[in-house]
Chain A
Amino acid sequence: MTTFVQQFLNGMTIGLIYALIALGYSMVYGVLKMVNFAHGDLCVLGAMFSLFLLRATGITKGRLNIIEVPLTGARLGLVLGMVFLGGMLCSAITALIIERLVYRPLRRASILTILVSALGVSIALSNTMMLVFGRQMKSFPSLLQKKYFTIMGATYSNLQVFIAMLTILLLMGLFYLVNKTTLGRCIRAVAEDKDMAGLLGIDVNRVIVAVFALGAALGAVAGISHAMYYGQTYYLTGYQLMILGWASAVIGGIGDMRGCVIAGLLIGLLEAVGGGYLPILTQGLLGADYRRIFVFLVLIITLVVRPGGILGKPEVVVKA
C-alpha cells in the first residue's frame, strides 16, 4: 500500500508536467492543424537557459556537480521568479522566431512538407542546444531546501508540492484564459475555422503568435520543473518529452484540453506505478526500464480503439 501511495504521488507530479507539455502540442495543433515537433525541445531550451542564468548570476557554482548556495525567503522567491520567467521568455521568443521564419511561410503547403519542416526545426533546435550548452548531461539545482512530508507512509518532498502547485495554478490560469477571456474566444474561433475567423475580423496571425508564445512558455515551465525534479537537463531530453507530450495529447484527444490533462496524468501514473511495480511483480526479471513500454502500448491501443483519443472526435485522425 505504501508503495502504491508513493508511486501514485510521484506519478501525479510527473503527470502534471506531461499535461503541461501536452497542452502545448494540443493548442498549436488546434490553431495550425500541425504537430509542432520542436515543442519538446522548446521545453528543454527553457531549462537550459535558466541553468545558464543561474550560472551567470553566480547562484550555482561548479560545472558537473553543482554546489548550491542556500536560499531563503525573499531571495528564494526572486531567484525562482528569475529562473521561470527567464526560461519562459527564452522559449517563447524562440517559438516566435520559428513560427515567423518556418511555419508561417509554409502554412498553405502540403501536410507532408509541413511535417518535414517541423522535424527539421526539432533536429536543428536540439543540436543547436548541444553546440551552445554542451553535449554532457548537466545537473540542475532543485533550489528549494529539501523538506519531506509523510502521507500515509509515503514521503512527499516540498519540491513535488511546489511543482504540483505551480502546474495546477498554470493549468487553471490557462483554462480561464481559453474559456473566459476575449483572447481565449479568439483562439477557439481560429481553432474551429481559421478562414471564417479571419472573415469575422479576428487577426489570425496574432492569435497564432499568441498560441505559440503561450504554448512555449508553458512548455518552458514544464521543462524547468522536469529538470528540477530529476536534477538534470540534457539536450536529448527534448526527444523524450516530445514523444511523451505528443502521446499524452493524442491519447487525450488532440485539441481537447481536459483530455490532455487527464491523459498526461494517466501517462505519469502509468510510468510511475508501472516502474515501481514491474520489478516487484516479475521478481526483477523486468526492470523499471520497461515502464515506457506500457505508455507506448497504451498509445497504440488508444489509437486503434479510439483513434480520436479518450475525449476527442475520431474523424480528424482516421481516413478510412
Chain B
Amino acid sequence: MSSVESEVRAIVSEVAELEPAQITPTGTLADLGVDSLLQVEIAVEVERRYGFRFSEDELKRLSSFGSLVELTQAKLDAAGP
C-alpha cells in the first residue's frame, strides 16, 4: 500500500468513523454509509493535507475510495517533486 493510500485511508476512517479495514477500494463511499456531506468533508481534509484543491469536476469523481486515492496520487504526481 502506498503512503498516499494509507494517509487517505486514515482521513476517511477518521471523518466517516469507520475502521480502516472497512474501507474497500471498490464500491462507493455511499455504500459504506458515507453520505454526500461527509464526502465533501473528506475532500476538504485531503485538500488540507496535501495543499491542493479539487476542481468542481474532480469533486464529482470522488465517490469511491479507490477513485479518491487515484485522483489524489495523480494530482501529487502532476505537481512534481
Partners in one complex: no
